Amino acid sequence: MAMAELLNSHGCVVEHSEQHRDLGVGCYFQRVEFKYGTMRKTGEQLEASLHEVCGRLGLEFQLSWGTRPKRLCIFVSKYDHVLWEILLRHKAGELECDIPLIVSNHEDLRPIADAFGIRFEVFKITKDTKRAQEDLEIALCRELDVDIVVLARYMQIMSDEFCDAFTHKCINIHHSFLPAFIGSKPYHRAFDRGVKLIGATAHYATANLDEGPIIEQDVERVSHRDSVDDLLRKGRGVERRTLMVALRAHLEDRIIVYGNKTVVFAD
Amino acid sequence: MAMAELLNSHGCVVEHSEQHRDLGVGCYFQRVEFKYGTMRKTGEQLEASLHEVCGRLGLEFQLSWGTRPKRLCIFVSKYDHVLWEILLRHKAGELECDIPLIVSNHEDLRPIADAFGIRFEVFKITKDTKRAQEDLEIALCRELDVDIVVLARYMQIMSDEFCDAFTHKCINIHHSFLPAFIGSKPYHRAFDRGVKLIGATAHYATANLDEGPIIEQDVERVSHRDSVDDLLRKGRGVERRTLMVALRAHLEDRIIVYGNKTVVFAD
Amino acid sequence: MAMAELLNSHGCVVEHSEQHRDLGVGCYFQRVEFKYGTMRKTGEQLEASLHEVCGRLGLEFQLSWGTRPKRLCIFVSKYDHVLWEILLRHKAGELECDIPLIVSNHEDLRPIADAFGIRFEVFKITKDTKRAQEDLEIALCRELDVDIVVLARYMQIMSDEFCDAFTHKCINIHHSFLPAFIGSKPYHRAFDRGVKLIGATAHYATANLDEGPIIEQDVERVSHRDSVDDLLRKGRGVERRTLMVALRAHLEDRIIVYGNKTVVFAD
Amino acid sequence: MAMAELLNSHGCVVEHSEQHRDLGVGCYFQRVEFKYGTMRKTGEQLEASLHEVCGRLGLEFQLSWGTRPKRLCIFVSKYDHVLWEILLRHKAGELECDIPLIVSNHEDLRPIADAFGIRFEVFKITKDTKRAQEDLEIALCRELDVDIVVLARYMQIMSDEFCDAFTHKCINIHHSFLPAFIGSKPYHRAFDRGVKLIGATAHYATANLDEGPIIEQDVERVSHRDSVDDLLRKGRGVERRTLMVALRAHLEDRIIVYGNKTVVFAD
């Protein structure tokens, strides 16, 4: 709570604050949202003070001024439903970010990018070129100051190196209720298993496929009447809304990752 | 649809009927609920006619007159929440069945059985006595004309022989969203994995643990604020309502099992 | 069940069938989905037979050959989220219909119609011109063989005459959980009331505002942290998915209206 | 945030803290949960300090030491499902409170109270005796130090005087999704209206029937197949879980009422 004192003493006004203590792992988390129009010090001074106080208390901190929208790069393949969802919600003002780039391994979705006036770059992937292409993707993202990558049903397994380049900055939407149906074709396997609910999971991509920290999950009811195609259709709906919740949380700096878990502060 | 003709021609009145065709496996299912107060033939005659028609069409059939409530045996260990749910809903008239017996491996829940005037038998289980005790349990269930067994958080793995004795007549409530967290301590593992929803699954018990045909599943939202104890608490709620939906479906003859899946006709 | 006999005797194959009896009002409903590739009679002969049998039994019937997709006209004003949802889902093959026309009282959404190559007609509405403009809208819909109208957040109250022209063929999406918050500004009123869930209702438009037969309803959780803008945002999500469920049911001939209620057969 | 400074300076350790600012009404709310085992002052001193600081800042505060469980009185009539839910969850350790009293206008549920060893008092209500009986109920509650009253489907409209005696300390569970179906027989009216979801609302009782501050709402899907009895049955499930969420929030001091709304801090 020293944060509050510190912010107050600098003339900032705390708007929202939430804390959480994980007694199991002995961790403490706090998120403070504050207005700084009345701040009596410079940003550098505040940052220095935070550095000093947190150092003394053994805390890590991250300071985001909110002046510059995060910059989002969307990776897609041939499925367009998640891409449309992101672009339309962004256009509607629901996602505070800029979208300087869409990356794909196919040409198919270029017209959508064009319609929104967003740069669309194709990096064709073969087994042999994968790592090299990824490096070019990473380089382009860096060049464009990309802060957050979304794998919008990109359908490629990212290398460890790629995941490392975007640690806790790359959100994947997996089309199952993890840890059920890790890996490929989850809807087909859900159909074969005869489940009564299907789900989707938004998580940070890590070197271990589908095992990164989970941000959000949601489900939809299915029945014996649903074919695999029905599961795919219903799944598209769940995928879209699950990713949106996760992406909004990330863009609003409401997520803290610790170990393989997330604290997602309420919106 | 020959069923309808047949029933009509015997003077029965169809109340509800639902059909389903699984094009993948090439199966056809039909459930017909009819009134037979105006039936112009005997029950034996109707059954014979059904036998003849279904034989000709290569169909299997099951005829339930609804005159005799199904007889339910509840297996419990030390957890009482599912037991209470069954007993109270039964008392409220929500479950059409008789409950002649509660079986347990511990004495703990006897007072509840006593309060409802239900016979309570303890079969203590050790690694060595397990199969023998199960045979006694099976024998007692048969003696009491038990039609359906519910494993109400019984916490014992049933032998293949037990499962075979109650094929598609033994409902287990597993405390996870299957196929996630098969096996023991699913809430602890859900906590460790950092999931954002927990679930429960009601399924028919088979020789393969937690892999029997799924009848019903449901979920509940959890967050980083929830401890394992919170998951256990929220889970008890989901377990109760998931089992109730499944049990009602079974008692009302609304479930058909085929392969490892269920058709659950709408209530 | 005479339907089944009749269809069988004409060489048709019943795929799905569901019946419902409303004991309260003494009504009986049946929906039969059948393949007629092997039909041994003409369509006219089948229709004549249905006419004869239903006449004898005092039943009404409706026969849909499924050869011609229904023709949908979307009415919009300035909000685009429901329009996008319909157009994108249609493009994804999730809605079996043709969309020959979009009607609006404003020019704003013309570019979207253009992007999908759909005719867009503006009928400006003032208090004085309303009825006359509606008549032109009705005439154009008839000219284009429109079967079903969706008021996709059209924001105009339709006259009795308009509703009568599209009895049970005009679906409105109301942005509240009816019968709560009938009328205008439901999200603002929901905010003022401090509800913990907001909802949306898809219903057939009738002369009585927001009181037509309900097809589908859904809700979304809100909290004290949500502003009116948050309710509007969350509401857009619920509106979109509620309308989609209703529209699919209508397009697949799964709805029967009786009195002021709907039977919605399972998909 | 001065609260945190103050608590720290007294040697307390803040465990959880959450703040909320309602920009519309210009209100600010904070809830701080802290451990005081290491407190270097007396409770009186802390309270005095809080009084001083809050007075200076124009804030109201409420201090709860958590040493004494709240004391709950349950009002019932003839329906037992909510009563059972409370008593069983209390027994399972899910509700931190003592239950010194159950009040009813009928004898019917006395055996349940007896089974749990809880005092059961009947106050028969007629139009003429109502106010007088209520005064006796209030007096008994005061005598027994009752902090919180739950109207567990009590089926009586409480007088203004009763509501005033328990301002924000009397939770009612209404069997509809408010503000839909205010008043009596909501399930029957929901059935007549043909809704596709039914709901329940837990709110603080006020002089205006069913218009008090809403604490929690939940819904359950229904269909044309559901009779009024089915709605009643499904409704009992929703009522039980809606009230539990609300009651837990109240018992854990997680609710702040302002105007006719509630802030419900996350559990």
* Interface pTM, i.e. ipTM: 0.93
Mean pLDDT of B108-112: 97
Instruction: Choose the mutation target among A233, A238, A243, A247 for the interface with C, i.e. most C CBs under 10 Å.
Output: A233
Q: What is the percent of chain D with per-residue pLDDT over 90, rounded to a whole number?
A: 74
Q: What is the largest CA-CA distance in chain D?
A: 64
What pLDDT is attached to residue A4? Answer: 72
CA angle (D121 as vertex; D117, D126 as ends), nearest 5: 155
Cis peptide before A179 (omega within 30 of 0): yes
Q: How far, CA to CA in Å, does D137 sit from each of D143, D151, D162, D163, D261?
A: 10, 13, 9, 12, 27
Mean pLDDT of B92-114: 97
Q: Please answer whether residues A102 and A113 qualify as being in contact, where contact means their C-beta atoms are separated by less than 8 angstroms.
A: yes
Cis peptide before C179 (omega within 30 of 0): yes
CB pairs below 8 Å between B and C: how many? Answer: 41
Could you say which of C114, C192, C210, C218 is catalytic? C210
Fold of D2-57: Alpha-Beta Plaits (3.30.70)
What pLDDT is attached to residue C260? Answer: 93
Across chain D, where does the E strand assignment appear? Answer: 13-22, 27-35, 70-76, 97-104, 120-122, 148-151, 170-174, 197-204, 214-221, 255-258, 261-264
Q: How far, CA to CA in Å, does C29 sit from each of C23, C39, C62?
A: 11, 24, 12
Q: Please name the residue of chain C whose CA is at the shortest distance from the CA of residue B26.
A: C15
What pLDDT is attached to residue B251? Answer: 96
What pLDDT is attached to residue A166? Answer: 97
Query: In angstroms, rounded to a whole number, what is the distance separating the alpha carbons of residues B13 and D59?
Result: 71
- Of C165 and A6, the structure prediction assigns the larger pLDDT to C165
Instruction: Choose the mutation target among B19, B28, B31 for the interface with C, i.e. most C CBs under 10 Å.
Output: B19
What pLDDT is attached to residue C259? Answer: 87
What pLDDT is attached to residue B263? Answer: 93
Q: What is the percent of chain B with per-residue pLDDT over 90, rounded to a whole number?
A: 74
Please tell me which chains touch B, using 3 or more CB pairs under 8 Å as the contact test: A, C, D
- Three-state DSSP at D112 gives helix
Q: Is C19 in contact with B19 (Cβ distance < 8 A)?
A: no
What pLDDT is attached to residue A208? Answer: 86
- Of C25 and A213, the structure prediction assigns the larger pLDDT to A213
For the question of residue D210 being annotated catalytic, the response is yes
Whether pLDDT at B1 is above 70: no
- pLDDT tens-place string over residues B237-264: 999 999 999 999 999 999 999 989 999 9
Give the A window 78-137 contacts with B, CB below 8 Å. none
Q: Is D249 on the interface with C (CB under 8 A)?
A: no
Mean pLDDT over the full length of chain D: 93
What pLDDT is attached to residue A5? Answer: 74
CA proximity to C106, closest of C77, C75, C141: C77
What pLDDT is attached to residue C57? Answer: 83
CA proximity to A72, closest of A63, A81, A82, A62: A82
Whether pLDDT at C13 is above 60: yes
- pLDDT tens-place string over residues D153-195: 998 999 999 999 999 999 999 999 999 999 999 999 999 999 9
- pLDDT tens-place string over residues B187-231: 999 999 999 999 999 999 998 888 999 999 999 999 999 999 999
CB within 8 Å of C188: residues ≥ 6 apart: C228
Q: Please answer whether residues A258 and A25 qualify as being in contact, where contact means their C-beta atoms are separated by less than 8 angstroms.
A: yes
Helix H, strand E, coil C: the string for A207-226 is CCCCCCCEEEEEEEECCCCC
D15 CB neighbours in chain A (<8 A) are 19, 21
Q: Please answer whether residues D83 and D118 qualify as being in contact, where contact means their C-beta atoms are separated by less than 8 angstroms.
A: no
Relative to beta strand C97-104, strand C13-22 is: unpaired
Q: How far, CA to CA in Å, does B76 sit from each of A188, B154, C31, C205, D88?
A: 35, 4, 43, 53, 17
Relative to beta strand B148-151, strand B27-35 is: unpaired
Whether pLDDT at D5 is above 80: no
Helix H, strand E, coil C: the string for A74-143 is EEECCCCHHHHHHHHHHHCCCCCEEEEEEEECCCCCHHHHHHCCCEEEECCCCCCCHHHHHHHHHHHHHH
Radius of gyration of chain A (CA): 20
Helix H, strand E, coil C: the string for C27-66 is EEEEEEEEECCCCCCCHHHHHHHHHHHHHHHCCCCCCCCC
- Of C36 and C72, the structure prediction assigns the larger pLDDT to C72
Mean pLDDT of C166-172: 97
pLDDT category, C67, cuts 50, 70, 90?
confident
What pLDDT is attached to residue C27? Answer: 83
pLDDT category, C118, cuts 50, 70, 90?
very high
Query: In angstroms, rounded to a whole number, what is the distance separating the alpha carbons of residues B145 and B149?
Result: 11
> Which sequence spans correspond to the domains of chain A?
2-57, 70-264
What pLDDT is attached to residue C24? Answer: 73
B225 CB neighbours in chain D (<8 A) are 266-267
Q: Is A226 on the interface with B (CB under 8 A)?
A: no
Could you say which of A210, A218, A226, A267 is catalytic? A210
Helices (H), D58-98: 81-91
Query: In angstroms, rounded to a whole number, what is the distance separating the alpha carbons of residues A212 and D64?
Result: 40
Mean pLDDT of B145-165: 95
Cα dihedral C228, C232, C234, C238, rounded to 10, equals: 140
What pLDDT is attached to residue D7? Answer: 86
What pLDDT is attached to residue C223? Answer: 95
pLDDT category, D136, cuts 50, 70, 90?
very high
Q: Is the sign of the CA dihedral C52, C53, C56, C57 positive or negative? A: negative
Q: Please answer whether residues C223 and D267 qualify as being in contact, where contact means their C-beta atoms are separated by less than 8 angstroms.
A: no
Q: Please answer whether residues D236 and D81 qualify as being in contact, where contact means their C-beta atoms are separated by less than 8 angstroms.
A: yes
Q: Is A215 on the interface with B (CB under 8 A)?
A: yes
Q: Is C263 on the interface with D (CB under 8 A)?
A: yes
Q: Please answer whether residues D23 and C227 qualify as being in contact, where contact means their C-beta atoms are separated by less than 8 angstroms.
A: yes
What pLDDT is attached to residue D150? Answer: 98
CB within 8 Å of A117: residues ≥ 6 apart: none
What pLDDT is attached to residue D152? Answer: 97
Q: How far, CA to CA in Å, does B64 sit from each of B15, B70, D101?
A: 15, 10, 47
Mean pLDDT of D3-15: 82
Choose among D94, D225, D267: nearest Cβ to B267. Answer: D225
Q: Please answer whether residues D104 and D76 qualify as being in contact, where contact means their C-beta atoms are separated by less than 8 angstroms.
A: yes
Tokens for C130?
A: 């309303």
Tokens for C124?
A: 């400006």
Q: Is A142 on the interface with D (CB under 8 A)?
A: no
What pLDDT is attached to residue C71? Answer: 98
B5 CB neighbours in chain C (<8 A) are 1, 4-5
Q: Please answer whether residues C218 and C242 qualify as being in contact, where contact means their C-beta atoms are separated by less than 8 angstroms.
A: yes
- pLDDT tens-place string over residues C73-87: 999 999 999 999 999
Tokens for B85?
A: 């749910």
Regions of chain A short of the pLDDT cut 50:
none
CA proximity to C256, closest of C211, C204, C205, C201: C204
- pLDDT tens-place string over residues B163-195: 999 999 999 999 999 999 999 999 999 999 999
If you ran DSSP here, which 8-state letter would residue C153 be given?
A: S
Q: What is this structure's pTM?
A: 0.94
Mean pLDDT of C37-57: 89
Whether pLDDT at D64 is above 60: yes
What pLDDT is attached to residue D26? Answer: 79
Instruction: Choose the mutation target among D18, D197, D203 for the interface with C, i.e. most C CBs under 10 Å.
Output: D197
Choose among A4, A18, A266: nearest Cβ to D1. Answer: A4
CB within 8 Å of B195: residues ≥ 6 apart: A178, A179, A214, A217, B180, B222
What pLDDT is attached to residue D237? Answer: 97
Q: Is D5 in contact with A7 (Cβ distance < 8 A)?
A: no
Q: Do domains C2-57 and C70-264 have the same CATH topology?
A: no
What pLDDT is attached to residue A33? Answer: 87
Query: In angstroms, rounded to a whole number, what is the distance separating the alpha carbons of residues C184 and B246?
Result: 41
Mean pLDDT over the full length of chain B: 93
Choose among A5, A14, A19: nearest Cβ to D14. Answer: A19
For domain A70-264, which architecture applies?
Answer: 3-Layer(aba) Sandwich (3.40)
Q: Please answer whether residues A140 and A122 qualify as being in contact, where contact means their C-beta atoms are separated by less than 8 angstroms.
A: no
3-state helix, strand, coil in chain C (%, to 5): 35, 25, 40
